[in-house]
Amino acid sequence: MGAALVLAVCALFIPSQAKAQEAEYVARQAYFGINASCTTEASPDRAVIVGGVSSSAVKPSDAAEQLEKELGLMKSYVAEKHGELRLMERARTVKNPQNGRGDTEAPFQEVQRLQATFPANAPVDAILDKLIELGMDRFGDNVLNNYNRREAVVRYQISNFDDLMNNFEQTCASDAWTQWCAKGGNEKACTSKKPPANLELQGFTVRSKESLMRPDGMATPWQWNMSRAQRSPDPPDLLGNVAVHLEGFINLSYQAEAEKP
């Protein structure tokens, strides 16, 4: 009977011991914070001329006909210069007559907002000269001329910005992993130079080294934060064909698997 009692006690103890070992295994899983800084450069690849064309007449149909003629000439010229003409909204306005006051301007007016896009190294001054000659008479986004101020008519854009930022993030994560392993990170995980699949992004802050002028006249650095739930925003337009030097700081987390005892 004594032997049977000993076996029963052991049977109860062995599962409890296994659970304790499993709990110890979970507790021994290690979490590491990994971070690094990195740099890259981005340059605009297209120049965009922003503005519009207007046509005035006594009758709406006459204004529309004249506008279509001018737009036809512009389309041909832009295509000749390896550009693309994008037609935006068309506004139709009427000026009400005022009693006792003569007005030489026709009452009805149509305004076509447009964007003409060219390679970033295109001769935009010469192109703008020709577009004005062909009828372009509104400049900037406010083609209705609701207020009197200078408008930025030529803007430069980075069309592949999302891809560039994704590559920047991946390069920065790879650099962070390499630096962490070089400083003695996890011996088992660091056998591969490629970052592991469970290396998770916690945050990625990007800021330009220089202050950059915006179409509204302000000059401030570009800055934004990226995470698993938040990706890069659309970059603001540049007012010049200049390279943008970006600095990044990445924060990652890594869960190292412990071997079962």
CATH number, residue 135? 3.30.70.1130
Q: Are 37 and 207 in contact (CB under 8 A)?
A: no
Q: Render pLDDT for 15-52 as a digit per residue (tens, 0 to 9).
A: 555 454 454 444 456 788 999 999 999 999 999 999 99
Range of the domain at 125: 46-95+111-156
Beta bridge partners of 211: 221
Residue 5 pLDDT greater than 50, yes or no:
no
Rounded to the nearest integer, the mean pLDDT of the chain is: 84
Residue range 157-203, pLDDT digits in tens = 999 898 999 999 999 999 999 999 988 877 777 887 888 888 899 99
Same domain, 152 and 52: yes
**Residue 242 covered by a domain:** yes
Q: Are residues 124 and 213 in the same domain?
A: no
Same domain, 80 and 128: yes
Evaluate whether residue 122 is within a structural domain: yes
What is the C-alpha separation between 166 and 173, in angstroms, rounded? 11
Q: Is 215 found in the same domain as 246?
A: yes
Percentage of the chain lying above the pLDDT 70 cut: 83
* Overall average pLDDT of the 110-136 stretch: 96
Contact of 31 with 255, CB cutoff 8 Å: yes
What is the count of structural domains for the chain? Answer: 2
Q: Do 220 and 252 have their domain in common? A: yes
Q: Do 135 and 209 lie in a common domain?
A: no
Asked whether the predicted pLDDT for residue 78 surpasses 60, the reply is yes
Q: Are residues 193 and 170 in the same domain?
A: yes
Read off the pTM.
0.78
Within a domain: residue 102?
Answer: no
For residue 104, being part of any structural domain is answered with: no
